[in-house]
């Protein structure tokens, strides 16, 4: 399993680097479209649709998202969908996790449109991030990776108190706090080294510090780290409710697309909104 997981990760990394370096806007948008289609298909399956009906849902929802994206034309009008998704992640998702229940959100007529909003908003954020440069895009994605990786190691070393035992028994408070603190330290390191390596001036971290007071900048780093955990836990709760171990088996050793981007779903829109006034073509 570990060998399969590593091989898949390497292939995905090579694919991502190739698209970012040589794919241009068309290649990136095509990649995001594939992510959108597959993630929505998995969301439909988590909503207890058959595989065929899930593909129909994915096609319709993706078409709506793409038409809305084209109509908004990547201007400031793109931000309301990210704001709507962020309201869910900030207010509703934590309530669901606390109750260990989807409540009204679990109703099919709410759950299916919700998937289009949450996944669509994250995809819009990915496209907008790419318009700010590859460095900016990777610096936002890295927040989730750092939070996840360091949470794993801190959890293994010090984890005693379960974070959400009924949703994801493997996660601990010590791991989550360690991951958040690591994101904070790494964020300030990026800012500190930006004078030595000017390329770092294109990162989200430097742009966010230009936009916010240092205290608030530090707070936002912790908040984004926390919501990467919320995204992960929320998807885990969806899988438990659906009786599924993984959202699919599309990525050998990793599960599904949603299993790889669950932490990005809340972080990408929130991160973009926090620096919206400092973005060139997106502001």
- Place 68 in a pLDDT band, splitting at 50, 70 and 90: confident
Going by C-alpha positions, the residue among 229, 265, 228 that lies closest to residue 42 is 265
Containing domain of residue 58, as a range? 2-278
Q: What's the pLDDT tens digit per position in 178-233?
A: 999 999 999 999 999 999 999 999 999 999 999 999 999 999 999 999 999 999 99
159 contacts 172 by C-beta, under 8 angstroms: yes
Phi, psi of 94 (to 5 degrees): -60, -35
Which tokens belong to 81? 């969908």
Going by C-alpha positions, the residue among 123, 107, 116, 109 that lies closest to residue 58 is 116
User: In the predicted model, is pLDDT for residue 58 greater than 90?
Assistant: yes
66 part of a folded domain:
yes
In a domain, 283, yes or no: no
Question: Structural domain tally of the chain?
Answer: 1
What is 144-177 written as a DSSP string? HHHHHHHHHHHHHHH--SEEETTTEEEEEHHHHH
The answer as to whether 110 is a domain residue is yes
Whether the per-residue pLDDT at 156 is higher than 60: the answer is: yes
Is 227 in contact with 218 (CB distance < 8 Å)? no
Evaluate whether 203 touches 194 at the Cβ level (below 8 Å): yes
Identify the bridge partners of residue 172 per DSSP, sorted by sequence position: 162
Residue 50: exposure state from Cβ atoms within 10 A (0-12, 13-18, ≥19): exposed
């Amino acid at each position: 399993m570990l060998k399969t997981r590593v091989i898949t990760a390497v292939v995905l990394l090579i694919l991502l680097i190739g698209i970012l370096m040589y794919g241009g806007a068309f290649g990136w948008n095509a990649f995001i479209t594939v992510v959108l289609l597959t993630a929505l298909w998995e969301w439909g399956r988590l909503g207890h649709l058959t595989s065929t009906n899930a593909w129909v849902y994915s096609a319709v929802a993706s078409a709506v998202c793409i038409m809305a994206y084209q109509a908004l034309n990547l201007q400031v009008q793109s931000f309301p969908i990210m704001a709507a998704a962020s309201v869910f992640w900030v207010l509703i998702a934590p309530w669901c996790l606390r109750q260990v229940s989807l409540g009204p959100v679990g109703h099919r007529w709410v759950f299916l449109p919700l998937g289009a909003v949450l996944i669509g908003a994250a995809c819009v954020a990915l496209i907008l991030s790419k318009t700010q440069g590859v460095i900016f895009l990777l610096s936002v994605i890295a927040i989730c990776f750092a939070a996840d990786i360091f949470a794993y190691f801190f959890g293994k070393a010090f984890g005693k108190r379960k974070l959400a035992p009924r949703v994801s028994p493997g996660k601990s408070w010590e791991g989550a706090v360690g991951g958040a603190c690591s994101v904070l330290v790494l964020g300030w390191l990026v800012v500190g080294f930006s004078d030595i390596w000017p390329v770092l001036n294109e990162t989200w971290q430097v742009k966010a510090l230009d936009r916010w007071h240092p205290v608030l900048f530090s707070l936002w780093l912790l908040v984004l780290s926390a919501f990467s955990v919320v995204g992960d836990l929320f998807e885990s709760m969806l899988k438990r409710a659906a009786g599924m171990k993984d959202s699919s088996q599309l990525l050998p050793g990793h599960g599904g697309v949603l299993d790889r981007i669950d932490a990005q779903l809340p972080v990408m829109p929130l991160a973009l909104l926090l620096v919206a006034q400092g973005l060139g073509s997106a502001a």
